[in-house]
Chain A
Amino acid sequence: MGKRIDVKDLNVFYGDFKAVEGVSMTVEPRSVTAFIGPSGCGKSTFLRTLNRMHEVIPGGHVQGKVMLDDEDLYAPGVDPVAVRRTVGMVFQRPNPFPTMSIRDNVIAGLRLNGVKNKKVLDQKVEESLQGANLWNEVKDRLNKPGAGLSGGQQQRLCIARAIAVEPQVLLMDEPCSALDPISTLAIEDLIGKLKEQYTIVIVTHNMQQAARVSDKTAFFNLEATGKPGNLIEMDDTQQIFNNPSKKATEDYISGRFG
């Protein structure tokens, strides 16, 4: 499991507005890649193009190629719904389905896609919750509402829900920004464990977090408001934080702007 992502010359638009320009990058399988950069530089927008969630917004479209191993996600005839089953996503704010129990939340993706076998589902509940380091905390109350958990537990529930559909890639859009430090630590530990199986891309505003969890780091920036954001550089995380090759990156990570 875990596929390589190859992005070639990707432009991302909201209607006529070009939000991100000319991004090319390679994300290695079973690694953690962090996107950093100031607010509004398009890193979340770009992240959402990797599972075609960008198109959910009216007017959202892209030019260019996103290859998952050797499959072009934007080739004509590719169903965005199928793409999203392969490339899962975890959002900024924990968003468990409020009408569903913890158990139903975990298997929501499977069930809504037609899996009915109770044995398979039960096994998947335990497996996914184990995978999200949540099983021990919730195994006695699987039928309680998912919204009753703490913020950090809810976020891990969302991760369990995302990995239950067995994606190849897991996208995380600032998954810890609504969480306290202890829950953040739990999620970071989990990311370290998940990368053995999945390709992980994480957007974060927290540079320490990027340094702690990621293998590679990509720095996004924009010249000015109203201009499209672009990828300034991408390299090993060590390299980016200790010896960046571009001045803008150095300024940003040393706190001189942004």
Chain B
Amino acid sequence: MSLDVKDIPASEAGDLGGIDHGKSGIRVLKNNIATVLIWAAFLIALIPLVWILWTVLSKGLSTILTVTWWQKDQSGVGAPGFDTNVRGARHAIIGTLEIAAATSVIAIPIAVMTAIYLVEYGRGKLARGVSFMVDILSGVPSIVAGLFIYAVWVTFFGWKLNAFCSSLALVLLMVPVVCRSTEEMLKLVPNELREASYALGVPKWKTIVKVVLPTSFSGIVTGSLLGFARVAGETAPLLILAQYTQFLNYNLFSGNMAALPTLINVNVPNMAGDQVSADRVWGAACTLILLVLVINLLGRLIGRLTRVKS
């Protein structure tokens, strides 16, 4: 049932129990204007997103739909225009996955344990300090994280760079992201559950491990995978720390290792005059987006499967 306010003349409005429909008309107008503005803002925000997706997919999809893209590396590629094959990105895909996986293995335990400390144990100065440091860390530009690891690894210790250095730099970027999201998830666990557990004579650490963490598990997994997706696309530290190579390298701890962002970076200078380089760039961009999408979907799936049912 809808009664259109505009159809009722203001003079008649007085008969309806003294409700002034003239004012409602203005309110309806305001409502309509606000609705239009909100939708317009939404559509404007959508434009760059759709644009990016369209550009990357239209230019890169054909490349990544070939089997060679996933099977081969770039070995044998020489000067621009010299090699007429796009070849593959297997070396970069493996590199990105390995670097991001190593990052996650180090960063997630640190981040989750920091979050547990902050939510469950932290009181007073130390906790405030730690929380402040996490804020600072999340504000560190990624290139600075790369420079820091370079300074420690090469300048201070005098070691040779390898792909693991990139992981270390990315750890600095991933920890605050995962820590903050885990903190939020732990705070969502009702205090009543902790008290119920204490009242059964369960020690605090066991309460955290067996009651608090399982209750917030799906949220922690989702947050961790979002952190994974973020570092998989991170470029700046890799420019400093991960020397690009055309060859497939499985070993994080020795030799150079390619990654999708550095594959893009190497090919961009030749893009303008060389269609093959352009194909590599867009193919790698497309692969990266696909990778992040798959990880996000995976996160949602795990989140859904492990969510607490009621």
Residues of A whose CB lies within 8 Å of any CB of B are 51, 53, 56, 58, 81-86, 88-89, 91, 93, 95-99, 108-109, 112-113, 145, 147-148, 158, 161-162, 165
Question: Can you list 17 A-B pairs with a CB-CB distance of less than 8 A?
Answer: A53-B195, A53-B198, A53-B199, A56-B198, A82-B201, A85-B200, A88-B199, A97-B193, A97-B215, A98-B193, A98-B309, A108-B197, A112-B200, A112-B202, A145-B308, A147-B308, A148-B309
- B233 contacts the other chain (Cβ, under 8 Å)? no
CA distance A85 to B201 in the complex (A): 4
Q: Given the interface contacts A97-B211, A147-B309, does A108 sit within 8 Å of B200 by beta carbon?
A: yes
Q: Given the interface contacts A53-B195, A56-B195, does A98 sit within 8 Å of B200 by beta carbon?
A: no
Chain B positions 223-276 with a Cβ under 8 Å from a chain A Cβ: none
- B18 contacts the other chain (Cβ, under 8 Å)? no
Q: Given the interface contacts A98-B193, A112-B206, A112-B210, does A84 sit within 8 Å of B199 by beta carbon?
A: yes
- B196 contacts the other chain (Cβ, under 8 Å)? yes
The residue in chain B whose Cβ has the minimal distance to the Cβ of A99 is B214
Which residues from B are CB-within-8-Å of A88?
199-200
Please state if A95 and B200 are interface contacts (CB–CB under 8 Å). no
Please state if A91 and B192 are interface contacts (CB–CB under 8 Å). yes
Q: Given the interface contacts A85-B201, A112-B206, A112-B210, does A147 sit within 8 Å of B215 by beta carbon?
A: no
CA distance A128 to B266 in the complex (A): 68
Please state if B196 and A158 are interface contacts (CB–CB under 8 Å). yes
- B123 contacts the other chain (Cβ, under 8 Å)? yes
Q: Which one of A58, A93, A145, A162 lies within 8 Å of B200 (CB-CB)?
A: A162
Which residues from B are CB-within-8-Å of A158?
196
- B190 contacts the other chain (Cβ, under 8 Å)? yes
Please state if B197 and A112 are interface contacts (CB–CB under 8 Å). yes
Please state if B214 and A165 are interface contacts (CB–CB under 8 Å). no
CA distance A53 to B192 in the complex (A): 12
Please state if A165 and B195 are interface contacts (CB–CB under 8 Å). no
Q: Given the interface contacts A98-B310, A147-B309, does A109 sit within 8 Å of B193 by beta carbon?
A: no
Please state if A81 and B215 are interface contacts (CB–CB under 8 Å). no
Q: Which 10 A-B pairs have the closest CB atoms?
A: A85-B201, A109-B200, A89-B199, A147-B310, A95-B192, A84-B201, A99-B214, A98-B308, A112-B202, A95-B196
- B203 contacts the other chain (Cβ, under 8 Å)? yes
Q: Which one of A81, A99, A145, A161 lies within 8 Å of B203 (CB-CB)?
A: A81
CA distance A56 to B193 in the complex (A): 13
Q: Given the interface contacts A81-B203, A97-B211, does A145 sit within 8 Å of B198 by beta carbon?
A: no
- What's the tally of chain B residues with a CB closer than 8 Å to chain A? 24
Please state if A81 and B201 are interface contacts (CB–CB under 8 Å). yes
Please state if B215 and A99 are interface contacts (CB–CB under 8 Å). yes
CA distance A113 to B194 in the complex (A): 15
The residue in chain A whose Cβ has the minimal distance to the Cβ of B196 is A95
- In angstroms, how far is the closest chain A Cβ from the Cβ of B196? 5
Which residues from A are CB-within-8-Å of B190?
95
Please state if A161 and B310 are interface contacts (CB–CB under 8 Å). no
CA distance A112 to B198 in the complex (A): 11
Which residues from B are CB-within-8-Å of A85?
200-201
Residue interface bits B60-101, CB-to-A below 8 A is 1, else 0: 000000000000000000000000000000000000000000
CA distance A158 to B195 in the complex (A): 12
CA distance A91 to B201 in the complex (A): 15
Which residues from B are CB-within-8-Å of A162?
199-200
Please state if B214 and A51 are interface contacts (CB–CB under 8 Å). no
CA distance A165 to B199 in the complex (A): 10
Which residues from A are CB-within-8-Å of B211?
97, 99, 112
Please state if A95 and B193 are interface contacts (CB–CB under 8 Å). yes
Residue interface bits B167-208, CB-to-A below 8 A is 1, else 0: 000000000000000000000001011111111111100110
- In angstroms, how far is the closest chain B Cβ from the Cβ of A194? 16
Q: Given the interface contacts A98-B308, A99-B214, does A91 sit within 8 Å of B196 by beta carbon?
A: yes
Q: Which one of B192, B200, B309, B310 lies within 8 Å of A165 (CB-CB)?
A: B200
CA distance A147 to B308 in the complex (A): 9
The residue in chain A whose Cβ has the minimal distance to the Cβ of B310 is A147
